[in-house]
Structure 1
Amino acid sequence: MDTTRPSITVFDIGGTHLRWADWSPERGLGQVRRSPSPSRTRRPDAAVDALQSALVRAVARPVPRGGVAGVSFGAALDHRTGTVYASAPLWGAHTQPFDLLAALRSARPDVRWHVVNDVTAALLHLAESRTAPDRCKILLTTISTGIACRSIDRRTGEIPLDGCGLQGEIGHLPASVVLDGLPVDLRCDCGEPGHVAAFSSGPGIRRLSGVMRDRAPGPWNASRIGARLASGTEFETALAEALDEDDPLATRLLDAATGPVADVLRVALCLDPQIGLAAFTGGVAAGLGDHYRDALLRHLDRSGLYLTSTRDPGWVRERIVVCGPGQADGLIGAGLAALAGEAA
């Protein structure tokens, strides 16, 4: 008798792309499909409610009749109810609550829907992997179009939430960056100035690069990253290649961009020493790999945890990893969340 369970349709919705696939614990992920996310970046003149409606249609369409769907959504959302409070990469400064779960149920009442934050989904997958079999607590941070983190206590499976059903919206904490002794004034995609994401997200790093170019066009144009960008290379590729070649200006750019993230990480490890793994994922962190980890460690070497960094420097270093391919997949995490929801 075949005891394999029917596949769950799983989605991972980010500020840039929407991915979906069929998944089951026995068979794993099927073919992953991808399309651009309906966002203000791609459709700057569209009203937010039109973007939200387009998103719901795109997610509702692929699910088989009577199926189960798990959605990993890149937004600040109430983990208890599926209500989205805000998504700067998708909708800019818009903060009117949007009941995504209710909208999906209305569009496809035949489907059993389960919605979680994308970092929560990635963390659920990471917590089940071999990356941290003996770690009490895991902190996962995504550095991508947006920035956020989540922590889980593996002894209980609990992801703590505040009174709004949120945790870890670090991208919108206040931050500052100084280049060559002068402060940098940048605005976050949410519309507010001086947030972590204003400097450290994918768009934030591009904005920082523009500041460096405008302040010192000669050195910028002579640098490897400047030359690559001038030749038409995409920003992410140009930065990675320049770092591979030890371009000093690209290294300075990454150091500036990782400073606010290192500040948050330092405080997290100081306040909760039970964090046994501080992992990073998302397009920026995963794309830069060891370069990203090394930049964080340079900050923590220069200004680390009081006494601990001096007496036991390995304590911090061995906790910080950048996830490789397949280690923290929001699609698999969406499936795990849906399984848990079905069993509840």
Structure 2
Amino acid sequence: MPERTITVIDVGGTHVRWAGWSPGRGLGAVRRVPSPSRANRPDADVGALRDELVRLLGDAVPAGGAAGVSFGAALDHRTGTVYASAPLWGAHAEPFDLRAALAAARPDVAWTVVNDVTAALLHLAGATRGRRKIMLVTVSTGIACRTIDRRTGTIPVDGCGLQGEIGHLPAATALGGAPVDLDCACGRPGHVAAFASGPGIRRLAGVLRDRRGAAWDAAPLGVRTARGEPFETALAAALDDGDLLAAELLAAATGPLADVVRTALCLDPDLDLVAFTGGVAAGLGDHYRRALLGHLRREGLYLTGERDPAWTLDRIRVCAPGEADGLVGAGLAALGGTEAR
């Protein structure tokens, strides 16, 4: 009997991707369209965006098929109810039963809905050996993490079915020794994502430009952005050029996440790997890892940071392209590859 193909879908604040997938054949051709989201359409009505998204996902699945959805939002891992997504819906936080909405629109489809970081973690963990616990942090339009215990195959969740919503933890950063005040996309000030997400880094760059003036204009990052290069491309190229202002910007953006990693490793020494994925981390690659390690070298774990610095530093990885793919993870979830406890 031919192996059944599952439609796998990854919903982010910027794009929706989907493809056919099976364990034996892997991913088919991936299609990609802009997400119906506040990130793309800031003034759109949230109800209309949700309706459009349900139609888009429903149209992607053949009649009588099965679908695994990797969804970029804080959602109840047990039920598929979405609590909030700043990139998708801004500060709007009325719960949305996505799984029920999809089932109502396409009752012929077997729907599985998981958080996008959960999906990416399932793919990473399935190909990683010799690690007890793995934490995956995604840094893109939003920020979140998930931890899996590979000894039991479980992703622990709290009483709301949540885990790892680190993007909305309180945080602080500074540029040139002076604090920076920025609001998160969720509407509250001083969250990790306000400084460390893709939009957060762009806002930090605006603060740096305003504070440094002529120095910014002369620096590679300032020159590149002034001539119209996309910010993400300009930042990576400026770091390649050794731009000190770009390095200062990245240090300020990664500081809040280094604080989270340091705390996580302090509280849970069973974490054998802390991996980073998402457009920001993957796009900056080694630059991003070096910035994180710089914080952890300067302010490491108490005693361990001095006696055995490699214990921390060897646990930090930026995923290679395709190493933590939410599309593959959505397929694994649809096959029953994770258990929430």
Q: CA deviation at 1:57?
A: 0.6
Question: Which of 120, 125, 139 is matched with 1:122 structurally?
Answer: 120
Match of 1:277 in 2: 273
Q: Is 1:318 matched with 2:323?
A: no
Distance 1:114 1:215 in 2: 48
Partner residue of 1:305? 301
Overall identity of the aligned pairs, in %: 71
List per-residue Cα deviations over 1:114-168 (Å, max 9, x = no partner).
0000000000000011xx3000000000000000000000010010000000000
How much has 1:313 moved relative to structure 2?
1.0
Matched, 1:263 2:262: no
Question: 2:333 matched to which residue of 1?
Answer: 337
Alpha-carbon shift at residue 42 of structure 1 (Å): 2.2
Q: CA deviation at 1:216?
A: 1.3
Contact 1:177 1:199 in 2 (8 A): yes
Q: How far apart are residue 41 of structure 1 and its match?
A: 2.8
The aligned amino acid for 2:238 is A
Alignment of 1:181 onto 2:172: no
TM-score (norm 2): 0.98
Does the 8 Å contact 2:122/2:337 carry over to 1? no
Describe the superposition over 1:224-265 as per-residue Cα deviations: whole angstroms up to 9, x where unpaired.
000000011000000000001110000000000000000000
Can you give the 5+ residue segments of structure 1 that lack an aligned partner in the other structure?
none
Q: Structure 1 residue 106 and structure 2 residue 104: aligned?
A: yes
Partner of 1:239: 235
Q: How large is the Cα RMSD of the aligned pairs?
A: 1.2
**1:153 maps to 2:144:** no
Structure 2 residue aligned with 1:24: 22
C-alpha displacement at 1:183, in angstroms? 1.1
Shift of 1:45: 2.4
Equivalent in the alignment of 1:202: 198
Distance in structure 1 (CA, Å) of the matches to 2:338 and 2:206: 48
Distance (whole Å) between structure 1 residues aligned to residue 145 and residue 39 of structure 2: 23
CA separation in 1, counterparts of 2:40 and 2:303? 48
Q: CA deviation at 1:46?
A: 1.6
Distance 2:284 2:146 in 1: 21
Q: Does the residue aligned with 2:82 lie in a helix, a strand or coil?
A: strand
SS at match of 2:44: coil
Give, in whole Å, the separation in 2 of the partners of 1:334 and 1:69.
Answer: 8
Q: Is the 8 A contact 1:286 1:322 kept in 2?
A: yes
Given that residues 114 and 341 in structure 1 are in contact (C-alpha distance below 8 angstroms), is that contact kept between their aligned partners in structure 2?
Answer: no
2:92 corresponds, among 94, 98, 103, to 94
Bigger Cα displacement from structure 2, 190-199 vs 35-44: 35-44
4+ residue runs over 6 A deviation: none
The one-letter code sitting in structure 2 at the alignment partner of 1:324 is A
Q: Residue type matched to 1:184 in 2?
A: V
* In structure 2, C-alpha distance between the alignment counterparts of 1:41 and 1:311, rounded to whole Å: 45
2:122, 2:338 within 8 Å by CA — same for their partners in 1? no
Q: Which structure 2 segments of 5+ residues have no match?
A: none
Aligned mate of 1:43, from 41, 44, 57: 41
What secondary structure, in the 3-state scheme, does the structure 1 residue paired with 2:294 have?
helix
| Aligned mates of 2:184, 2:269 — CA distance in 1 | 30
Separation in 1 of the partners of 2:224 and 2:168? 31
Deviation at 1:5, TM superposition (A): 2.0
Provide TM-score, normalisation by structure 1.
0.97
